[in-house]
Structure 1
Amino acid sequence: MKLEHVSKTIRHKVLFDDISFQIHKGLYRLTGKNGSGKSTLIRLLSGLSAFDNEKRLKLEGDVLFLDLNPIGLAPFSIKDNFYLLCKTYQVKLTPELEANVEAFFSDSYNDDYLHASVGTKLKLGLSLLLVKEWDYIFIDETLSTIDNDSLKIVAKQLVKLSKTSTIIYVFHNLSCLLLEQNSRILHIEGGKVREV
């Protein structure tokens, strides 16, 4: 993934000014002060938003983008929603993979989506990490809403996937040693992005 001389302005505020950098496969944590543009940058990198010149990054391969917006549907169960996601993302589900997902949800796999907790709803999107290899994964604060046991499962999977994927995440209050030890840092400051 390569950016060359791109900028982003929102409501007359310049968030990124003529930035250029390259990101290789691996696990990256995006850091910066509140309002520095972390969520904007992750949307730009995923191709969901355009730079000032209306240019969008076009990523080749399978892309997963997750944020704090749950992706399930009522009136289905968590399990039904998971099946819908597998169909949508063309996941070849095996009994072993489904068993891993069921364990990930613990006792809430058959719960009604509408009445599930926010953390359980957001785990629905994260469960896609357990059943498919992605070329690009973008996670904007989704990890901050899940319980510690689930976080350990996701962190282990992200480290594993980072050997073949480009993974960029925002995690405001990082509380996971495995992610800390295995993540490179992309830091935003003064409208510039640099690896530290």
Structure 2
Amino acid sequence: MLQSGHIFIVSAASGTGKTTLVSRLSTHQPDIRISISHTTRAPREGEQNGVHYHFVSRTEFEEMIAGNMFIEHANVYGNYYGTSLKAVESLTQQGFNVILEIDVQGAEQMRRLLPEATSIFILPPSMTELTERLKNRGTDSEDVIAHRLKKSREEIEQSLLFDYVIVNQELTQAEQDLLAIIRSVGLRAQAQSQTITRILTGE
């Protein structure tokens, strides 16, 4: 009997290393999948359609909104981002644990719509370290960085609304912490109900 997978909402302030962290974890753990979001923003260098995001036009995205095809969607820095309901359901039914890597605004919607999901916030070691990471990207102007830092502080203040918090001081340790949370959820008695039934019935 196939055990259904679980949904994990992972959010962070911009520049915290969330994308690197969850990508690394999914590479090392075959039972974990990252839900690929739809977005209207242009691909960054090295990003591939269908691998990092589903890149669509604003018109296509708005048609998907009208068709109720998203669990959540948000407008972030002028671009739409959304999570496909059909894609997430398909993965959990196959027994995969699914990570929804979304912004804080989207996570708020998700916690209301999917109360059974586990929410995790990734923190930077400090605001000083976060500032350096954003500057080292070399992709944003000083004004954009200042705006992102202001928004990051507001987002970090909301981290207490999440179920778990991980500090991404060192990537390997943060990955181990994230995996520990995912494994612990799978070991809850309720999550093991099918296993318990199988043992009792001798199947």
Bin for the TM-score computed over the shorter chain: 0.3 to 0.5
Instruction: Identify the structure with the greater helix proportion.
Output: 2
Alignment TM-score, normalising by the size of structure 1: 0.39
